[in-house]
Amino acid sequence: MQDRRPIHRIMFVCHGNICRSTMAEFVMKDLVKRAGREADFVIASSATSTEEIGNDTYPGTKRVLADHGVAFAPRAAVQLRAADYDAYDLFVGMDTANIRNMRRMLKGDPQAKVHKLLEFPEGSDADTAADVADPWYTGDFETTYDDVSRGCEALLAWLR
């Protein structure tokens, strides 16, 4: 039997890859698993900066994921690379700065793969959708979780 290629390859992106993008990665993996669609997806996350490269998910993110019963695993933050553009179908950023940096790092977006997470539930676009607040600065991991969950649920519905 021939292995089939996943239908959807998604890269979640934030500034450091230890809070929001990792939260989105694990939330989306949980949603996909509960939907019985794991074979249809490759889900990863990365950073636009180098500040946290090699670091595991931030403790506040781990705590809120555990509080909501979302499984997570040890990981090391990685930086987005231009070569990722050919490897993924969607790049989902968390805020306006992420979108700007992603487009620069990916050398543009000729195939319209770059989106902002909250454009999916809001029905807007990457340039006008609300930002997912960074809990590194706000300390409010619960509000970030709510936004990430809402965005990931809408993204999954959009992909059906």
Q: Tell me which of 20, 30, 95, 152 is the catalytic residue.
A: 20
Confirm whether 20 is a catalytic residue: yes
Confirm whether 152 is a catalytic residue: no
Q: Tell me which of 30, 84, 95, 134 is the catalytic residue.
A: 134
Confirm whether 86 is a catalytic residue: no
Q: What is the DSSP string of 29-90?
A: HHHHHHTT-GGGEEEEEEESSSTTTTPPPPHHHHHHHHHTT---------B--TTHHHH-SE
Instruction: Give the dihedral sign, CA 75/76/77/83.
Output: negative
Rounded Cα gap, residues 55 and 130, in angstroms: 27
- As annotated, the active-site residues are 14, 20, 134
